[in-house]
Amino acid sequence: MTITAADVNKLRSITGAGMMDCKKALTEANGDFEAAIDLLRKKGQKVAASRGDRDAAEGLVITKKTDDGKTGVLIVLNCETDFVAKNADFDKVANTICDIAVANKPATIDELKAITYPGTDLTIADKIIEEIGKIGEKIDLSTYSIINAEFISCYNHPGNKLAAMVGFNKSIAEEVGRDVAMQAAAMAPIALDESSVPEDVKQREIEVGKEQAVNEGKPADMAEKIAMGRLNKFYKEATLLNQEFIKDGKLSVAQYLKSVDKDLTAIDFKRVSLS
């Protein structure tokens, strides 16, 4: 049968695929639009498989919270190039996935991927495969995090390559929470406080501190004490609550929060950067 330009344009408007891809799919499907859509989706699956070893290091990091401020989510939708990351359709898909996460609060990334994408009969996982077919790059929903707390603050850095969210034990002013979320984004802490630093990281810092002390000519019996002192310095640099507050260097983040409310503290945070 004859495939008209109008048919090709119609399929392109439905799927967003390229003109030649649409024409080829309609030809193979003998003009059956549903079959042609399936063929394009299958092409997407093949692209996904063939590009599995590509580095999808670009993309968007987005964090949002529920209207009541008690649940925050953070997602990363990756692609291969910055050109695609800046594409309006890619941005729309990433934000829609984040909105779905906010609305449904799935516990895991697999649960999120299994939710139906709005306006389609596709799961999010299938929608991503469809987008791969349209764009021709590896796309991956690589990260999903959720925090539940009495109050959540989210910070999306301009350009959406960096985002952070922080959970607090009490409701606070938006400005206070945003300052701490910006702190987490800017200062890249590895843990909330000293108690949440992984044990292997602590031991590594202690061993490095001992070796440095010995190399500096300090007595071996003092090396342990010196190493512990350096570990405390590490906590001040690498844990959110112990870091110097960026808006007032005389206070730690923990002290700043207590200056707002003596019982106020951060209980969790998530931070992701693509740079």
Quick one: CATH architecture of 194-260? Orthogonal Bundle (1.10)
Smallest Cα–Cα separation from 9: which of 20, 43, 42? 20
The reported pLDDT for the residue numbered 47 is 65
Task: Name the token pair of 226.
Answer: 């010196």
How many Cβ atoms sit within 10 Å of the Cβ of residue 141?
Answer: 21
Question: What secondary structure letter does DSSP report for 245?
Answer: P
What are the residues facing 141 on neighbouring strands? 77
Per-residue pLDDT tens listing for the chain (275 residues): 789 999 998 888 777 788 898 899 999 999 999 898 888 877 776 666 666 666 778 999 999 999 999 999 999 999 999 999 999 999 999 999 999 999 999 999 999 999 999 999 999 999 999 999 888 899 999 999 999 999 999 999 999 999 999 999 999 999 999 999 999 999 999 999 999 999 998 998 888 888 888 888 888 788 888 989 989 999 999 999 999 999 999 999 999 999 999 999 999 999 999 97
The reported pLDDT for the residue numbered 49 is 67
Residue 26 to residue 4: CA distance in whole angstroms:
10
Report the chain's C-alpha Rg in angstroms.
24
Length of the chain: 275
The reported pLDDT for the residue numbered 80 is 94
Written as one letter, the residue type at 102 is V
Please give the order of strands across the beta sheet that includes 71-79: 58-65, 71-79, 140-148
The reported pLDDT for the residue numbered 134 is 86
Smallest Cα–Cα separation from 136: which of 96, 80, 60? 80
Residue 245 to residue 260: CA distance in whole angstroms:
13
Which stretch of DSSP H or E encloses residue 90?
A: helix 88-104
How many Cβ atoms sit within 10 Å of the Cβ of residue 178?
Answer: 15
The reported pLDDT for the residue numbered 10 is 87
**In this structure, what are the phi and psi dihedrals at residue 273, rounded to the nearest 5 degrees?**
-130, 135
CATH number of the domain located at residue range(s) 58-186 in this protein = 3.30.479.20
Smallest Cα–Cα separation from 98: which of 186, 177, 173, 165? 165
Smallest Cα–Cα separation from 37: which of 67, 13, 70? 13
The domain defined by 5-50 folds into: Helicase, Ruva Protein; domain 3 (1.10.8)
Ranges of each domain in the chain? 5-50, 58-186, 194-260
